Amino acid sequence: MFRIFLAVLIPYALVLSVLLWRKRPVRHGTKPVSRGWGNRLRVLVIGATGATGRQLVQQALEQGHQVTAFVRDPAKLNMAHANLRIARGDVLDYASVESAMRGQSAVLSALGHKRFFYPNRIQSDGMRNILQAMNTCDVPRLVCETALGIGNSVGRLGLPHTFLILPLLLAFYMWDKLRQEQLIIASDRDWVIVRPGVLTNGEARGSYRHGPKVGSYLWPVKIARADVADFMLKQLTDDAYVGAAPGLGY
């Protein structure tokens, strides 16, 4: 029985890996990326009630940014600060996204969900709305958290994820994440796709690896959400990864 399971699972996992594979992303558009906008920005955080999103909001406020937290349920955020504004909305509702987008300098997205087991387009349709609103409101920069294991990082979440977790639990989710990445790559915004390894709620270490070679084909690399937020915030003013999709892990 176990052999039959493996005989089905392994080819399926390999086919899924091929389907999730894409060439290294390349940025479109010719606008200069350096905005020279200093260190105090107006930042829209999508997914602000999530585990990474809360870190983004908290650290952005600590750094002196003006933050708009885009949330479905304001009661869930439970944070107050003079520089924090809450915008109630849903990424699938374009009007609410555009309304929150007005006047922003940049967008940080830590959008995610738990509807793993049926096909859906929450991440990609949400990102389509975000990109359209960025265009309409002339917001130039997007930093979006996705994940290792798709595009040119296929396999880099390690063997257990490549052969078990992705095929058995996350196939639909990662497929939509890939679609989300493709929309970002095709856009003319100054985008950075951030692909962390397995997320933890540990303390920030302040030191982590980033770049196209992060991740292991054998074992999962981990990274605390606090450090993901630290890296994402740095991408607001650092142009080194604009138009790229660095991995992130210890």
Ligand X SMILES: NC(=O)c1ccc[n+]([C@@H]2O[C@H](COP(=O)([O-])OP(=O)(O)OC[C@H]3O[C@@H](n4cnc5c(N)ncnc54)[C@H](OP(=O)(O)O)[C@@H]3O)[C@@H](O)[C@H]2O)c1
> Does residue 110 bind ligand X (CB under 6 A)?
yes
Retrieve residue 56's tokens. 């983004």
Site for ligand X (CB under 6 A): which residue of 225, 229, 233, 247?
A: 225
> Does residue 203 bind ligand X (CB under 6 A)?
no
Alpha helices (runs of H) in 50-206, residue ranges in sequence order: 51-62, 74-77, 94-101, 122-136, 159-160, 171-186
> Does residue 98 bind ligand X (CB under 6 A)?
no
> Does residue 53 bind ligand X (CB under 6 A)?
yes
Q: Which of residues 34 and 201 has its CB atom nearest to ligand X in the complex?
A: 201
Candidate segments 9-17, 85-93, 132-140, 235-243, binder of ligand X by CB under 6 A: 85-93
Which residue sits closest to ligand X, CB atoms considered? 50
C-alpha distances (whole Å) from 141 to each of 42, 63, 136, 229 are 11, 18, 13, 16
The least distance separating ligand X from the CB of residue 7, rounded to whole angstroms, comes to: 29
Give the torsion sign (CA, 238, 241, 243, 245): negative
- List of residues 6+ apart from 5 with CB closer than 8 A: none
The least distance separating ligand X from the CB of residue 243, rounded to whole angstroms, comes to: 20
Candidate segments 42-50, 59-67, 182-190, 236-244, binder of ligand X by CB under 6 A: 42-50
> Does residue 198 bind ligand X (CB under 6 A)?
yes
Q: Which of residues 126 and 140 has its CB atom nearest to ligand X in the complex?
A: 126
The least distance separating ligand X from the CB of residue 188, rounded to whole angstroms, comes to: 23
> Does residue 28 bind ligand X (CB under 6 A)?
no
Q: Which of residues 1 and 81 has its CB atom nearest to ligand X in the complex?
A: 81
Cα distance between residue 217 and residue 221, in whole Å: 10
Longest dimension (CA), the chain: 62
Angle at 124 between CA 122 and CA 126, to 5 degrees: 60
Q: How far is CA 243 from the centre of its chain?
A: 14
Site for ligand X (CB under 6 A): which residue of 16, 27, 52, 176?
A: 52
> Does residue 66 bind ligand X (CB under 6 A)?
no
**CA nearest to 49, candidates 128, 141, 112:** 112
221 burial level (CB within 10 Å; 0-12, 13-18, 19+): buried
Site for ligand X (CB under 6 A): which residue of 43, 44, 100, 111?
A: 111
Q: CB–CB of 227/194 below 8 Å?
A: no
Query: What residue ranges bind ligand X (CB under 6 A)?
Result: 47-53, 72-73, 76, 90-92, 110-113, 122, 126, 145, 147, 196, 198-199, 225
